[in-house]
Chains A and B, each alone.
Chain A
Amino acid sequence: MGKLIDLASSTSLEARSARTIPRDYFERERIHEGQPTEMPHLQELENRFIALEQRLIRTGMTAGYVKINLLPSKQLKIPLDAIVEPDNAGFIARTTDIPLYGYGDDPIEAIDALKCEIESLYNDLMEDDQFTEDWLRIKGFLRERIIE
């Protein structure tokens, strides 16, 4: 995989160089567990996506990571991490903790598709407990994060 772009940062992507995920990244998330997540303004998010898209096109095969805070009809107490990468003519967005993906012609479409996938999986998992151990773990993981 190429370099990772910190899309979660609110400052200009142009101003900062691409960087890797810090070692304590997942620890930091645990510290914030239970606290409400600050929702970035929609316009700000859109600007970040556009900046990411432009950068991906300009720099070629790089990847960006995003934090998913909102689902189509649910909210996340703790954001989910996702990676967005070019995939031939389009883009693929994948969650880092769950085997889910969304594909789209641009990063926004890919992330939107991924959000639908997360919600769809959550609904599937809440139906019953007839799952293998790894899916039951994912069920617990999502239950901790999603606000109905």
Chain B
Amino acid sequence: MKNASFNTHDVKKCCENKLNIEFRSGKEFNGWYYHRNKKAARITVSKGRKPIHPKTYKTMAKQLKLTVEQFDDLLECPLEKQGYDKILGSILMPAFN
């Protein structure tokens, strides 16, 4: 788990740049990921540049339907949008993949 390498701002930027998630500003930032034109995953990110503690990091990964290792990859770079779509597709519609 590489939660110590990233803060909440890094997660938000990564979601915006790699997954095209548009965040809404409320008490926290909330954003939906669209998969095949449907809202498929919703992530909550705290405002500011706060450290992300282990359980919060794991919960963020879970919100994107990713394992902690996949979430590490998403933030570190190896996992791109195309790869994320493939993972999400296999979770949501296994028969079509």
Contacts and interface: CB of A to CB of B under 8 A. Distances in A.
Contacts of B39: 124, 130-132, 135
Interface string A52-93: 000000000000000000000000000000000101111010
Q: How large is the interface on A (under 10, 10 to 19, 20 to 34, 35 or more residues)?
A: 20 to 34
Contact of A94 (B40, B54, B59): B59
B62 to A, nearest CB: 6
A103 B59 CA distance: 11
B84 interface: no
A113 B32 contact: no
Q: How large is the interface on B (under 10, 10 to 19, 20 to 34, 35 or more residues)?
A: 20 to 34
A21 interface: no
**Main DSSP-derived SS at the A contact region:** mixed
Interface in B3-34: 26-28, 30, 32
B38 A131 contact: yes
A130 B38 CA distance: 5
Interface of B: 26-28, 30, 32, 35, 37-40, 42, 44, 46, 51, 53-56, 59, 62-63, 92
